[in-house]
């Protein structure tokens, strides 16, 4: 049983690698965990997807703590865009915590990019996977900052999700 559990993430990554090489795969989003992580179902599997190229404000693990400013808005916005909808997911492999790194499209619209445009996520600062172009994400962040959308309205009080995680480990 343990060996089967170890191979499941590999099989999922293999399945999404196939879709990456051919086209995006169709899935239905069944849960939104936060502003950059969702659960989707399709092809008789359930996958956890980390939206590639973005980093949304951190939600709290404690019930009564709202977490980082704009974390709840990011989660609600993402849910409003894709929850219970059929989407296309272009996979870029497996990331930490056995989550698929993916770009989600709804009717051809890049949802990851929409989260940055709305000011509810920043560009992920880590090394992007091969074949991923972060230039449109960087441009969208510049525009969201200039217009003080979402979390950028906090000005000097804004703390990046990366820094927030370090502070509240």
Mean pLDDT of 101-120: 98
- At 3, is the pLDDT very low, low, confident or very high (cuts 50, 70, 90)? low
Catalytic residue among 2, 88, 99, 165: 99
Question: Any idea which fold 2-167 has?
Answer: OB fold (Dihydrolipoamide Acetyltransferase, E2P) (2.40.50)
Mean pLDDT of 26-30: 97
Q: Which residue has the tokens 């409003």?
A: 80
Mean pLDDT of 107-132: 96
- Annotation says 31 is catalytic: no
Token duo for residue 10? 């590999």
At 48-93, the pLDDT tens digits run 999 999 999 999 877 777 789 999 999 999 999 999 999 999 999 9
Catalytic residue among 2, 31, 41, 50: 50
- At 18, is the pLDDT very low, low, confident or very high (cuts 50, 70, 90)? very low
- Annotation says 50 is catalytic: yes
Domain-by-domain residue ranges, the chain? 2-167
pLDDT(21) > 90: no
- Annotation says 117 is catalytic: no
């Amino acid at each position: 049983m343990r060996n089967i559990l170890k191979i499941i993430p590999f099989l999922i990554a293999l399945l999404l690698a196939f879709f990456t090489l051919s086209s995006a795969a169709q899935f239905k989003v069944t849960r939104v965990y936060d502003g950059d992580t969702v659960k989707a179902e399709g092809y008789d599997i359930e996958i956890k997807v980390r939206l590639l190229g973005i980093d949304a404000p951190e939600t709290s693990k404690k019930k009564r703590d709202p977490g980082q400013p704009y974390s709840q808005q990011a989660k609600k916005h993402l849910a409003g865009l894709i929850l219970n909808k059929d989407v296309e997911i272009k996979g870029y492999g497996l990331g930490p915590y056995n989550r698929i790194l993916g770009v989600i499209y709804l009717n051809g619209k890049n949802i990851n990019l929409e989260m940055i445009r709305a000011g509810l996520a920043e560009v992920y600062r880590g090394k992007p996977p091969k074949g991923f172009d972060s230039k449109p994400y960087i441009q969208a962040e510049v525009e969201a900052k200039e217009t003080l959308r979402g979390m950028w309205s906090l000005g000097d009080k804004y703390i990046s999700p990366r820094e927030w995680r370090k502070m509240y480990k």
